[in-house]
Structure formats: C-alpha cells, structure tokens
Chain A
Amino acid sequence: MTRYFAPLIAFAVATAFVAHGQILPEFLLQLRDPNVLGGALFGWALKSFGYAFVLAFSGVLAGAAVLLAAWRTRLRGAPDVYAALAAVLAALCLTGSFGVSFAPVGWCCAALFALFLERGGRFGNGAALAVVALWALLQGGAPLAALVAALACAGAWIDARRIDDRVRESALVAAGTLVLGAVQLHAAPWHAYGAHVLYLDALRAGAQRDRLWNGGLSVNMLAFSALLVTAGWYGIRRRGRTADALTVLLLMLLSMLDARNLGYAGVLAAPIVADAVASYYVRERTLPHGPLTAYGAAFAACAFAFIATIISTEPKAVVWPQPPQQPAKLLVALAAHRGHHRVLCEQPRWCDGAAVVFHTIDPLVDDRAGLASSTALRAQSDAVATHGAWRSELAVARVDAIIAKSDANLVALLTQTGWRAVQSDGARVLLLTRRLQ
C-alpha cells in the first residue's frame, strides 16, 4: 500500500499546479532569454498544443520532480513510507513556487542529476553530465548542479581523508558539470547570469527578493520549517556522508537568501532528510525490485492521461495569459503615449517582460538585477526609499514614467512636483512627467 503514496502525492502536486493555472512574471523574461532554448520550446508548445498543454506539462514536470525525489530516497534503501515522507517534504517546498515558468524543468533536472550523481559509476556519471547539458540548454540552472557536484567531491574527500578513486571520480564530474554549465553562457555576463539563476542577484540593493520569513504563516515558511525540524530532529549526518550534510546546509542557506530556491531545496534535500529519518527506525535496507523502465513507462502513461484530460477539458488558447501580479493596464496606458519610455516599477518584478511585449517601454530595473547596471539599481533603490538625491538620479536615468502603489510615498512626493497620476488599476498608479502629459 505504502508504495503508492509517493505517486499519489506526485499527481496531487501536478493537479495542484494546474489548478494554480497562472504564469509567473519571471516567465516573460525567461521566454526571450538568449542563453536557453526553453523559451523556444515552450513557445512552440503554446502555438501547437495551446496553453493548457504547457500548464499540464509543467504540472507533470513538477510531479515528476517529486516522484524522482521519492525514488532517490527509495534507492538509498529506505522503505516506501520514507519515500512518501520525502515526497511530502518536496511537495511542500514546491507549493510556494507553483505557476508556469522554467522552474519545473529545473526541479526535474535537479532531481535527475542528484539521482545519477548518487548512483555513480560510468553510467551514473555520464547520465548526470547529460542531464546537466540538457538542464543548461533548457533552463540554465546548471550552476546549482556544479555546486552540488563540487560539494559531493568535497564530501567524498572529507570522508576519505585522502584523494582516492571516488574523490577523483567526483572531481571529474564536478569539473564536467562546471564546463557544461558554462556552455550556455554566450549571451550574457556569466557571473551575473549564474547569480541570477540562484537568485543571488536579488541581494543587490534595489533588487526584489522573496524572503522566506515574512512575519506570518506562509506556505514557504511552513515548508522550510518542516524540512528544518525534521533534519534537526534526526540529524543529516546519520548515514555518515558529509556530502549529504553539505548539500542540505547549502540549500537551506540558498532558501534563506531567496525563497525561490526553496523548490530546489525540497527536491534535493528531502530525500536526504527522509533517509536520515529512515536510518533511525530501519535496521535493514532494501532496494526496489523491478526494472526502472517499467516504472518509467507507468509514470509516462499516467502523465499522458493527465495531460490529455487537462487538454480535453480546457479551451485551446495560443497566447500567454497575463501574470496576475503584472500592472498590464498601466503598461498598456504607457505604451499608448508616443515615444520611447523609461519606466521605474516600484517592485522590479512588475516590469518583467514589459520590454518584450511593448517595444517602446524600457524598464529601469526588472527581476534580473544581476544584469542591471549599478547606476540603475542605485536610482531604483533611492527612488523607492525617496532617499538621497533620488530626483536627480531619476533625471540622469531618464525615467519618465513610474508605476507604484497608490499609497507609496514616492507617489505623494512626485505628485507635489509636477508628475501626474494618469492611470490606476486600483492598487497601483502610473505616474508621468509633465512633458508627457
């Protein structure tokens, strides 16, 4: 009975994902990312099969990531019930990031990479590198794979206290991961791009960050607490693998830096934590029976049925829906004004994809803070805080339009000095300089 818990959880995740049914603002940026092919692939899927397919496919990818996390736990010799625990923990961590973006591709690749990395050997290492190559091409999250591989190498070295064959093997995999991850970086500064993939660029002043703790009870906070408390209760070094502990601690740190990394933490750390729980209660470890292809075929059959059900029940739409958080009405109003506009969004994510949709709009800063200039970030940060020489910084940056919350101090101060609120969507207003009115 317990062996079906993890698949049930995985398809519950896929269903919840589809029920969420929206696209995340960052997806609009990812679609036109010159570094990765995922945009072209998703665009083709939209034109050929419609939005419902993309949504259902993303849901299946999220479910597959959960199932792979459970499978990895099972391959460590933990019984089915602990695989189900890993699935629950992973699913909880993914829940806060539900929505169409490239993240499900990344979760799936991360889970597969970790699975093959742990398997080791010629096949395991080769498959891990192949997954990294695919990951780098599709979604661009390969820097995380390089970090995990480097930690696996460091962990093997610490455990062996000398450079043996296993350490050499993991060092080769880490080097290969690093090289394959770098292949994608042809159209953007690699350091900035790598930082954006792990959302480290969100730490820059003026950038937008998703914080794990926001003062209330959020899904992200509960998921992280569940992972943390389980890990702290049983201890992640129980299997005596330093690499496990290093990986979990790194992922927890990344999640605390930006909550968007929590999905990766769930997929990669949940099997380790569930395995630690199993090692306390279970004396004899058993590996799963049966061929992997049979399990894979069963999952694929379910996935096809799932996608088919979603497609057949949803009308076919071949345009991307507007992310609900975006101030679409205000951006349309701004585009209606003649000329080229430099716009500052109080929350940079509001401006995600604005330049793609409206060619006359140029956001000062969007979600990719790692790629923004320090001058633009300073102007953004100072203007939102109305701090320092923010007015002259706005003038230097040639900002002629601002989208901000209606009750923001920026709105009150600008409307006193010639700027006008020309459009509102209820919560936010579009402010224009006098010369545009």
Chain B
Amino acid sequence: MRIAIAIVAIFCARFLMAAWFYQGHDGDLAWQQWLGAYVLAHHQLPQHLGRETFTSPGAPWIPQEWAFSVAVAWFTLHGRFWMLASITVIAAALSLLLVAYRARRRGASAFATALVTGLTGFAMLQSFGVRAQVFGWLFLSVLLLLLDVENESLLLGLVAIALWANVHASALIAPFIVGAWAIGTWIEDRAWTVRVERNMIFTAGSAIAVCFTPLLWQLPLYAVHLQTSVIRSAIAEWQPPDLLFPSMIGGLVPLIAICCYFGIAAPRERWRDGMLFAAAALIGGLAVRHIPLAAMILAPMAAARLSSAIPMHARINTILREQFSEILIYACSAMVCGIIVLDLAHAPQTAGVSLPKNAIVSLSGLPGTHNLYCEDFAWCSLALEKANLRTFIDGRCDPFPARVWTDYLTVERTSPQWPAVLKRWKVDSVLVERDDSLAQALALRRDWHLFYQDRRYEVFLHQDVRTAQR
C-alpha cells in the first residue's frame, strides 16, 4: 500500500498541474460558473434556455451538473479557483487510493497493488480535469468498495449514489453495476439467499437513488436520450476509444490483458467479479470517458489474480517491503513529482494554452447585439456573461435541438452549405481557430471580414455589421 501511495503522489503532481491551468483549457467552466451563479442568485434551477442563445431560446434544459456548477461559481466568485482545483485533485487521488485499498483487501501483493494503481492512473490521465465526472470517479470507487465489503453498510451506497447523481449524470451507471453484481451473487449462491435478496434490494434502491435530485425522474430520461443524441459525435469524450490512446495502451488494455491471462470469474467462483468484468469490458469500448471507470472496476480484480502468480513471498514483494526500498521509492516519487511540476509549469501544452477570452471581450465591445457562432461550441460559454452576445450553441450543448446541432456541424465541418446556414440563422460573427478549414473558408468570402486576430484565434464579422458601424 505504501508503494501505491508513492505512485498516487506522482499522479497527483500530474493532475495538479492539469487542474491548476485548467481554466485556460476548458470553456465548460464558463457555463458552469454562469449556471452556478444563477442557482446561487435565484435558488432554483433554470428549466429552459434563455435569451443568451439566438437559436434555441425556450428549449427545455436539464442542468444535470448543477451541484458542481454551484461549486465552480462559489469558488470562482470568491477568487478561490485554486481550492476547487485542489479538491478535484484530492478526489482523483482518493479514487486511486481506494483502488489500491480494494486491491489490498483482496489480498493483492505490494507489487500487484502498485502496478494496477499505476495503470489506473494512466487510464485517468486523458479524462482528468476540473470536471464533475472526476467526482463521479470517487463515488464509483466508494460504491465498489461497499460492494467488496458486502455487509450491512452496503445501503450507505444509496447515499453515495444520490450524491453522485447530483454531481454528474454518470451516476446512472450505478444501477447497472450493482445489478450485475447482484446477478453474480445469485449465480454464486444458486438460490435466493439473504445476500442475494439484499443485493437485489440494493439494485432497486440504486435505481431510485439516482432520482434523488431536483431533476427527479428527468435525469434518467436525459441519460437515456443522450445515448442516441446527435451531440455525441461532436464531443471528444464521447468518441470511441482507440488502442493508441495513452489511457488505453498505458491503462485499460494492460488491465484487461492481466484479467484475460488469469481469468476473473471461474477460477475462484467469483461470478460477481465476472459480471463486473463483462460490464467493464463492454463500457470501456463505448466511449473515452468510460475508460477510467472500466479501469477502476478491473484494477483490484487484476491485482488479486496477479498476486496468485507473483505471491506475497516472491522476491520482488519481499524487496518492496524492505524499509530501504520504501525510502528509495518515496525519494524517487518526490523527485518525479518535482520534475513534473517544474516541467509542466512552463510547458506550452499546459500553461501556454488559453481560451479566446480576448476575442470575446473585443467582440462584446462592439455596439449592438451580435449573433455569435463558435467553431468550438465550448468557447461560446465565455460569451454567456456578455449581455450583447447571443450564442449559436454553447457549452451547455445538451438542450440544443437536433436541427440546431445539424446546422452547427454543417458549418463546423465546412460543408458546402455552410454560408447558407450562417445566413439563415443571421449569424454576424464567427469565432474560429487560425488556419482551420472554417477560417480558410471565411477568409475567401467577400461578405466576411477579419475583425480580430491573435496568435490562436480569429473573429470574422459579416459585412452587414461593418455597414451598420459606418
């Protein structure tokens, strides 16, 4: 476990640097801050989109990340974003520590525990950010621990699931995991035992617990709707995983390989684990955002099975238990943490990236109200707080109707009909990344002219805006 702590510390350093500079990376924080500020001011959740969008005012909205948004607003408005970033890092670290603890509870050796903790850390790297889903990881870890413990405290899991549902809609995965576990116990016991009954009740309870939010039954409905929504194709985290992704090749795939090598269910009559393995193997292939979830499910099983091949008394585990080895590993861990912090603090891909805040400020400085299209819809979240800017689609993305999304994608992909779409929606300003295909296409048009340019972004205005200014 101590070696695992040293590994978690290394990932914490990496996570911390990502969280520290996260405001410059992710436009979603802007709409979450806007939503949180709304909730703090009005003490209720918005039910519809407002006049801040010109394409879909009045469209019904299910603000599923409301609790996290309140936290974002509170910390940001009080100038303490660093505190929220730190809490997010702690949540990720606790998730990793719980993975290590669950592995140890299953009798995993020091080496196996450390290895699977590291692999889970890699699986988390790609999706980590100051985001609601990171807290979802923590809730999942707690739920899996309660399932492992499998005593009367299991029902505490209902509280965890209810809290999880208020933070992020990924809580909808909980009834499926608990249900798979319950079916596994049923197969193991081959009868309706007390344990099976309790797990079945827990499954039913977890399905009800996800409705314990201000959104009630609308949250599960929203999650079901999202599975077939057109917006999935436009969101990177919803794209299917690929072997070449670092979180796959360095995290989930090795875990799956260990499980396949040793076998999860049959060798020890652990049908519960087998059911969870099947669920994790399936969801891990559906979307990038599921990779950490699948890794957290599989890691302790993989560690336990690996320990049967490299047992506690094996030479490597004996060496790892020696005091000198521990000191050495902690020293190396501290050194690596230092290198990560020093290196990433100045790395362009971490500290050098910035959102188009200046572009939005420049545009909002123009007289009149402007209909803004952003090549990346998340950038438009920065415009929500500007009274004279209306967005085509912004980071709230879910409530925008399918036809608006189709039009958004037509322009974003620079399909031949893109000028007609912009004209139909009366878009008068477009925010693009320099040299992207849309920027190239706008530069070739006579009815659009460059209004703003910096090292990364450009804003084009329609000729009507220029005429109006004159």
Contact = CB atoms under 8 A, between A and B. Distances in A.
A and B found bound together: yes
Interface of A: 203, 211-215, 221, 224-225, 228-229, 231-238, 245, 248-249, 252-253, 256-257, 276-277, 280, 385-388, 406-413, 415-417
**By CB atoms of chain B within 10 A, which of A256, A406, A412 has the most?**
A412
A415 B266 CA distance: 61
B343 interface: no
A235 B415 contact: no
B243 A386 contact: no
Given A203-B244, A249-B260, A229 B278 contact: yes
Contacts of A215: 232-233, 238-240, 286-287
Contacts of B264: 232-233, 235
B240 A214 contact: yes
B242 A213 contact: yes
Nearest to A203: B244
A229 B415 contact: no
B277 to A, nearest CB: 5
B281 A415 contact: no
Nearest to A415: B416
A215 B260 CA distance: 23
Contacts of A225: 281-282, 285
A249 B261 contact: yes
Given A238-B267, A412-B415, A412-B416, 16 more contacts: A211-B242, A215-B286, A215-B287, A225-B282, A232-B260, A233-B264, A234-B265, A236-B261, A236-B263, A237-B262, A238-B263, A276-B263, A386-B414, A407-B415, A409-B438, A413-B437
Given A212-B285, A213-B286, A416-B441, A233 B416 contact: no
Contacts of B256: 228, 232
B261 A233 contact: no
A215 B240 CA distance: 5
**By CB atoms of chain A within 10 A, which of B244, B267, B285 has the most?**
B285
A407 B267 CA distance: 53
B414 A233 contact: no
B417 to A, nearest CB: 8
B466 interface: no
Interface in B418-470: 418, 435-438, 440-441, 444-445
4 pairs of A and B residues whose beta carbons are closest in the complex: A235-B263, A409-B414, A407-B415, A213-B240
B416 A411 contact: yes
25 contacts: A212-B285, A213-B241, A215-B232, A215-B286, A232-B256, A232-B264, A232-B274, A232-B277, A233-B265, A234-B263, A237-B261, A237-B262, A249-B260, A256-B242, A257-B243, A276-B263, A407-B413, A407-B415, A409-B414, A412-B414, A412-B415, A415-B416, A416-B444, A416-B445, A417-B444
Contact of B277 (A213, A229, A256): A229
Interface string B228-264: 0000110000111111100000000100110111111
Contacts of B416: 406-407, 411-412, 415
A356 to B, nearest CB: 31
A225 B281 CA distance: 7
Nearest to B444: A416
Given A233-B263, A234-B265, A235-B266, A412 B441 contact: yes
Contact of A413 (B241, B259, B263, B414): B414
A232 B259 contact: yes
Contacts of B267: 234-235, 238, 280
B281 A386 contact: no
Nearest to B270: A233
A407 B305 CA distance: 51
B56 interface: no
A235 B413 contact: no
Interface string B59-77: 0000000000000000000
Contacts of B213: none
A357 B383 CA distance: 55
A385 B436 CA distance: 9
B243 A253 contact: yes
B418 A412 contact: yes
B388 interface: no
B241 A231 contact: no
